[in-house]
């Protein structure tokens, strides 16, 4: 069963991507049983997707500093920005351990939960309450997607280190969603 999930998760993750103009081939590590410490294709797909999501969200998070009317919302965005820089470092370190190098194939894709260039442009033209409403919607979609793909890695990943990072990130993203919901109740 875990082998089937190991093949399905990368397929589901990749289906959420829109086609990039020049796709970069993904090095495929050897598939290992889910109980091993070896990195599987599921692990690599999750690491790359999570790293791309974190990277693309940073400009979104930066916009809140000067545009949000709600100071706790701006504070959450600032904390998330700092935490996500650290998260990107942990994701990249595991990609290096898995011997995956080169450009992240998800970096130029628009995927569920990922702020697009059009989203950022539209958000850049907003301030105060209008900004807050749109920002909360985009941030919620982003955090929900991170939690969802982390859950998939937890259940179908092979490398213990990747599953542990996914567990920690899912816990953090779920807590951030709860905090966002508390803040949004006031926005």
- With a cut of 80, say whether residue 20 has pLDDT above it: no
Q: Average the pLDDT over each of 15-24, 139-148, 150-159 and give the range with the smallest value.
A: 15-24
pLDDT of residue 15: 42
Overall average pLDDT of the 16-40 stretch: 47
- With a cut of 60, say whether residue 168 has pLDDT above it: yes
Residue recorded with tokens 């990609």: 95
Residues whose CB falls within 8 Å of the CB of residue 122, separated by 6 or more in sequence, listed in order: 134
The 3 state secondary structure assigned to 33-88 is CCCCCCCCHHHHHHHHHHHHHHHHHHHHHHHHHHHECCHHHHHHHHHHHHHHHHHH
pLDDT of residue 104: 80
**Which runs of consecutive H residues, i.e. helices, occur in the chain?**
2-15, 41-67, 71-97, 117-124, 128-156, 160-184
Q: How many CB atoms lie within 10 A of CB 111?
A: 19
CA distances from 137 to 77, 125, 127, 155, 173 (A): 13, 16, 15, 27, 15
pLDDT of residue 14: 42
- With a cut of 90, say whether residue 19 has pLDDT above it: no
Confidence of residue 37 (pLDDT cuts 50, 70, 90): low
Overall average pLDDT of the 49-67 stretch: 94
- With a cut of 90, say whether residue 24 has pLDDT above it: no
């Amino acid at each position: 069963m875990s082998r089937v999930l190991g093949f399905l998760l990368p397929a589901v993750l990749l289906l959420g991507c829109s086609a990039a103009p020049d796709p970069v081939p993904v090095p495929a590590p050897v598939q290992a049983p889910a109980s091993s410490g070896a990195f599987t294709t599921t692990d690599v797909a999750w690491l790359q997707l999570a790293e791309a999501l974190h990277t693309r969200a940073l400009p979104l998070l930066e916009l809140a500093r000067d545009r949000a009317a709600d100071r706790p919302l701006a504070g959450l965005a600032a904390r998330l920005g700092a935490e996500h820089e650290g998260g990107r470092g942990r994701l990249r370190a595991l990609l290096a351990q898995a011997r995956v190098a080169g450009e992240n194939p998800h970096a130029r894709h628009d995927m569920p939960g990922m702020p697009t260039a059009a989203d950022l442009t539209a958000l850049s033209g907003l301030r105060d309450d209008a900004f807050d409403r749109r920002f909360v919607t985009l941030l919620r979609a982003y955090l929900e997607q991170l939690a969802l793909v982390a859950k998939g890695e937890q259940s179908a990943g092979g490398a213990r280190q990747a599953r542990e990072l996914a567990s920690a990130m899912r816990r953090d993203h779920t807590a951030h969603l709860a905090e966002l919901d508390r803040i949004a109740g006031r926005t």
